[in-house]
Amino acid sequence: MTHVQQMVQTNFNQAAVDESTLVECIEACFDCAQSCTACADACLGEGDIQMLARCIRLCLDCTEVCEATGKILSRQTAFDAEMARAALEACARACGICGDECERHADHHEHCGVCAEACRHCESACNNVLTAV
């Protein structure tokens, strides 16, 4: 059992959505924030940075949105569905945009491929919570 799962279960207030759907989304948000931070950095170390400027920029943007969403979903006290939806919708869109860009570079840069995968997973995890909330 991960710490995320334990923290969800030991909260006095019950999760607003199915526990495993929530845990998967929280973990995906933090994972995607890390992958995007690392991908922006890996791109910065490549020879063809100019080609990767958009990828770097979107990865930085996506990091911020994933972090915000992962923390908002980690809170179960005085849960506000509208606040959760605002964050989740932004996050699904950010991951979609960033994932598309990373995918375009996946053939030349393995880190972009890994990051695209993290984005896709987070986008889909956000959409799953959006359906349930």
Whether the Cβ atoms of residue 99 and residue 116 lie closer than 8 Å to each other: yes
Tokens of 102: 């990373």
Contact predicate 43/59, CB 8 Å: yes
The binding track of 67-106 with respect to a second copy, each residue x by CB under 8 A or -, is: xx-xxx-xxxxx-x-xx--xx-xx--xx--xx--------
**Cα radius of gyration (the chain):** 15
Residue type at position 93: R
Residue 126 touches a second copy, criterion: CB under 8 A: no
Residue ranges binding a second copy (CB under 8 A)? 3-4, 6-8, 10-13, 26, 30-31, 33-35, 37-42, 44-46, 49-50, 53-54, 56-58, 60-61, 63-65, 67-68, 70-72, 74-78, 80, 82-83, 86-87, 89-90, 93-94, 97-98, 109-111, 114-115, 117-118
